[in-house]
Chain A
Amino acid sequence: MLPQEQASKMIRDNTVKMWMITSVQIEKAQKYMHNKEDVKLKELKKNEKYIDSYELKLYFDCENFLALFSPVAIDLRFVLSTLHISYDLERIGDMARKIVQTLKTCTTLTEDMIALFEIDRMFDVCSDSLEKVLNAYETINSDIARQVLVQDAILNEINKLATSRAVTAIQKNPQDAEIYLNLTSVTRRLERLGDHIKNIAEEIIFYVEADVLKHKKSRDFLEDNLL
């Protein structure tokens, strides 16, 4: 294997490892929501340190790759997209931790409350989307990444409903107001988490097709003002 191929394989392998740990963080956050005894918070913290370390490692490895191999075309897009993906994975890890922190304060959380806000469905969509984008990255397949763009709409929709659901629930059970408000915060974070997964999907499409999807609406402005 040529040095460039070795270096790119190392970057790819480490990205996948970071991805796996991030997926575990989401699973653990979901488990924690149902049963706080099932998840060791120490383990979550340790995983987060791994995620941060992988982000740093990928940053240095990508910097070296750019300096040593001056990549072009698909190789350049691979490094650029990997840098962005590692940033998004780190943010996803952060979101998972923040969700756990929020849930920690919800001592009287019930399954009915979780069901009311469709939080399990949001977690499931996030986990499924993250798995799909990983598959898309590993197989260099932008079609799979495109499926995720559609799934993000589900998260947005559920998050939009959260406030009105909380208002109704608080009116019925004002003693649980704090929990309901915390659950809206959880749905908001899951929606943000979905945005990061969508960013990753867009990066994979850029990597494979050289098509930049982000800020599509600003494209005309860019062409008129900055190009």
Chain B
Amino acid sequence: MAKKVEVSNLNLRYGDFHALKNINLSIEERSVTALIGPSGCGKSTFIRCLNRMNDLVDHVTIDGSVLLEGEDIYRKGIDIDNLRYRVGMVFQKPNPFPKSIFENVAYGLRVNGVKDKSFIENKVRESLVKTALWDEVKDDLKKSAIDLSGGQQQRLCIARSLAVEPTMLLMDEPTSALDPISTAKIEDLIFELKKQYTIVIVTHNMQQAARVSDVTAFFYIGELIETDTTSKIFTNPKQEKTQNYITGRFG
């Protein structure tokens, strides 16, 4: 499989606080990579480096390189808006806009200047089908997105990301606010989406990491301790720290 992302010697500081320490990680195309580790270990900080979300935080300094499809996303002059279209993000809490279901999904296209009505309609439908939401909402596209259930809202947010044709999806604890049935639907969705997209997911749920990911990376106090195939990490990790964490002995 081709490399989608190549992170080399990545360091990130919030002021004096060294949040990510010399991270090196390759992410393969059309795979799911789970980032695990105790709270404050740098997982979310790392995932936000992949679409430069940390640029929005004060006093952040970053060095090292992050190559997305061979392109350094931290080089001067890069179009950050375009980067964030290419690398979509789904957050812990579903965050639909206070608009209709249709307009939520169409939002990115409209902001991007797309005016072709039938193109937008097709994209909205396609995105809702991909997120297995179409059958549930096709007759209520004008309904407010806020009225959807939590699980449906999260799938809507994923559909919103897909509508602008990203190449990669970042998911920061996408199911932590959802019930088991909605969680299962999102996990099924991740399984389907990886046929087309590269996915990086932050999760505190070990079973979820084991179920959905191909590769797991364990972070601890800003360091990437170990990365390997998920089956290897959950059966025979090389590092004692990883074993202690996944077996619940610390963290």
CB distance from B216 to the nearest CB of A (A): 11
**Which residues of chain A come closer than 8 Å to B210, judged between CB atoms?**
72
Is A74's beta carbon under 8 Å from chain B?
Answer: yes
In the bound assembly, the distance between CA atoms of A54 and B234 in angstroms comes to 29
Is A76's beta carbon under 8 Å from chain B?
Answer: yes
In this complex, what residue of B is CB-closest to A210?
Answer: B236
CB distance from A73 to the nearest CB of B (A): 5
Give the size range of A's interface with the partner. Answer: 10 to 19
Point out which of B210, B234, B247 has the most chain A C-beta atoms below 10 A from its C-beta.
B247
Q: Which residues of chain A from 183 to 222 have any CB-CB distance to chain B below 8 Å in the complex?
A: 210
In the bound assembly, the distance between CA atoms of A2 and B248 in angstroms comes to 10
In the bound assembly, the distance between CA atoms of A162 and B206 in angstroms comes to 54
Which residue of the partner chain, among B207, B237, B248, contacts A4 with CB atoms under 8 Å?
B248
In this complex, what residue of B is CB-closest to A2?
Answer: B248
Q: Once the chains bind, are B247 and A74 in contact (CB under 8 Å)?
A: yes
In the bound assembly, the distance between CA atoms of A184 and B27 in angstroms comes to 62
Point out which of B207, B243, B248 has the most chain A C-beta atoms below 10 A from its C-beta.
B248
Is B235's beta carbon under 8 Å from chain A?
Answer: yes
CB distance from A61 to the nearest CB of B (A): 18
Q: Once the chains bind, are A73 and B237 in contact (CB under 8 Å)?
A: yes
- How would you classify the secondary structure of chain A's contact residues: helix, strand, loop or mixed? helix
Is B246's beta carbon under 8 Å from chain A?
Answer: yes
Q: What 0/1 pattern do residues 49 to 79 of A give for CB contact below 8 A with B? A: 0000000000000000000001111111100
B interface size (C-beta, 8 A) = 11
- On whether A74 and B243 interact (CB within 8 A), knowing A210-B235, A210-B236, the answer reads yes
In the bound assembly, the distance between CA atoms of A4 and B246 in angstroms comes to 13
Q: Which residues of chain B from 196 to 251 have any CB-CB distance to chain A below 8 Å in the complex?
A: 206-207, 210, 234-237, 243, 246-248
Q: Once the chains bind, are B206 and A73 in contact (CB under 8 Å)?
A: no
In the bound assembly, the distance between CA atoms of A74 and B240 in angstroms comes to 11
**Which residues of chain B come closer than 8 Å to A75, judged between CB atoms?**
247
Q: Once the chains bind, are B248 and A73 in contact (CB under 8 Å)?
A: no
CB distance from A67 to the nearest CB of B (A): 12
Q: Once the chains bind, are A73 and B207 in contact (CB under 8 Å)?
A: no
**Which residues of chain B come closer than 8 Å to A74, judged between CB atoms?**
243, 247
Q: Which residues of chain A from 93 to 107 have any CB-CB distance to chain B below 8 Å in the complex?
A: none
**Which residues of chain B come closer than 8 Å to A4, judged between CB atoms?**
248
**Which residues of chain A come closer than 8 Å to B207, judged between CB atoms?**
70
CB distance from A209 to the nearest CB of B (A): 9
Q: Once the chains bind, are B247 and A70 in contact (CB under 8 Å)?
A: no
**Which residues of chain B come closer than 8 Å to A76, judged between CB atoms?**
234-235
In this complex, what residue of A is CB-closest to B242?
Answer: A73
In the bound assembly, the distance between CA atoms of A77 and B235 in angstroms comes to 8
Point out which of A2, A72, A74, A210 has the most chain B C-beta atoms below 10 A from its C-beta.
A72
In the bound assembly, the distance between CA atoms of A110 and B52 in angstroms comes to 86
**Which residues of chain A come closer than 8 Å to B206, judged between CB atoms?**
70, 72
- The chain B residues found within 8 Å of chain A, CB to CB, are 206-207, 210, 234-237, 243, 246-248
- The chain A residues found within 8 Å of chain B, CB to CB, are 2, 4, 70-77, 210
- Show 16 A/B contacts (Cβ-Cβ < 8 Å), sorted by A: A4-B248, A70-B206, A70-B207, A72-B210, A72-B234, A72-B235, A72-B246, A72-B247, A73-B234, A73-B235, A74-B243, A75-B247, A76-B235, A77-B235, A77-B236, A210-B236
A-B residue pairs, 3 tightest by C-beta: A210-B236, A72-B234, A75-B247
